[in-house]
Every structure is written in C-alpha cells, then in structure tokens.
Structure 1
Amino acid sequence: MKQRIAQFAIGDVVRHKVFPFRGVIFDVDPEFANTEEWWNSIPAEVRPRKDQPFYHLLAENDETEYVAYVSEQNLEHDESQLPLRNPHVQQIFVMEQAGRYKPRMNFAH
C-alpha cells in the first residue's frame, strides 16, 4: 500500500468542489472504506479514485445538515469563515479559530 499524507485534518472546515455543501472533518480513512453499493451509486463519470483519503464530514447545505463521506479530490478548504450550524459540531468540537475546530477533550466513541 502506497503511503499518503492526508491534505486535510480533523477539525478543518472544507467545501465540496462540485456540490454546494461544506462541513467539518471528524474522521479520515486513508483510502476508500465504504460499501461497494455506495461506490456504485456514484455515476461512473464523476466517481473518485479509491486510492486516496476519504473524509467523514458533519456537513450542511442551504437546506439541511447531515454526515457526508467525500474523497480528497473533491474537497477544498472553505475560506468563508462562517460558523457551521450542524448541531453535532458543538457536541464534538470547540471553535479554535475561524475555519478550524478543535476536538473536545472529553469526546470519545
């Protein structure tokens, strides 16, 4: 397995390059670790490579909040500095600075 360094870290606020949502990273998989059903549900012409980090996000768009699983190639840092409204963000993180959250020390799964 080729070693890679993830471009983003837990607590980073990111946005999707194609779809209109953003979120904070709460977990990272070094490569694809979801189901084949999920993988095959992505249209082939936009399906990302499996050999890259995938990020778990507390995500939100204009309408709702949810958890997203996104490939590194489809993310970029969110420079808006707007706070996230996903209610789970405050349970897991504290604001460290605009665009970056720090995990709460007492959080465990």
Structure 2
Amino acid sequence: MTQFQTAKFGLGQIVRHREESFRGVVVDVDAAYAGPANEPGPDQRDQPFYRVLAMGEGAGFLIYAAENVLEHDPDVAPLSADEQSRWFAMDGLGHIAPRAQPIH
C-alpha cells in the first residue's frame, strides 16, 4: 500500500533545487509521482512532487521535481496575493497555473 506524505511546500512558495542550483516558485503539488507511467521515473515515487516555475536568468521553464531535491529558500519571501494574481491564473476549482500555461 502506498503511504502519502504531507507536502512540505505550498503554492507560491519559493524553493531552491539542490541539484540544479536554481530558484523557482511552486505552481502545483502532487501527493506522489504523477508523471507518465510508461517512462522511466524517479526511484522514490511515494513522496510529494512539485511543478516549479524557474525564476532568474534563463528562467520561465517548468520542472517536475521530487520533494527530496527541493529546499526552502530563506532568502526569498513567498509571493504576495498581488504577485500571484500577476503571474498565475486560477480556475473556479482553485487550480493554479502560470498565465502562459493552460490549467489542466
């Protein structure tokens, strides 16, 4: 039986990727790996996974990352409600996506 963990990071929170050395903002959270089943995925699928919109130089891309490769970035505050509405769209069910991406 799969056991789910509580997600450590929330929508709009700024995180650092430990291996790729960039900052990003959390735009979606899955309780466990929800990537393609027919493709090789991470070994540890029973942890929260996040869609993170990269920030900074060369940014603007989305990654799908496991919680164990992300860490809180204490140097940057989470986005305010005004900043969130500037960068993200929200549908009637509360799903959030970058304005340039459709909500799935």
TM normalised by structure 2 equals: 0.69
Percent identical residues? 33
1:1-109 equivalences under 5 Å are 1-35=2-36, 36-37=38-39, 39=41, 47-60=42-55, 62-81=57-76, 99-101=77-79, 102=81, 103-104=84-85, 107-108=90-91, 109=103
**Could you list the runs of 5+ residues in structure 2 that have no partner in the other structure?**
92-102
CA contact (8 A) 1:48 1:71 kept: no
Instruction: Figure out how many residues of one structure are paired with residues of the other and give that number.
Output: 85
**Cα distance 1:3–1:32, how it changes in 2: closer, same or farther (>3 A)?**
closer
Q: Scaled by the length of structure 1, what TM-score is found?
A: 0.66
When the two chains are superposed, the root-mean-square deviation of aligned CA atoms in Å is 2.3
Segments of structure 1 that go 5 or more residues without pairing to the other structure are: 40-46, 82-98
Greater helix proportion? 1
Going from structure 1 to structure 2, the CA distance change for 1:20 and 1:48 (only over 3 Å counts) comes to farther
Moved over 4 A (4+): none
Distance 1:59 1:106 in 2: 17
Give the SS at the match of 1:9.
coil
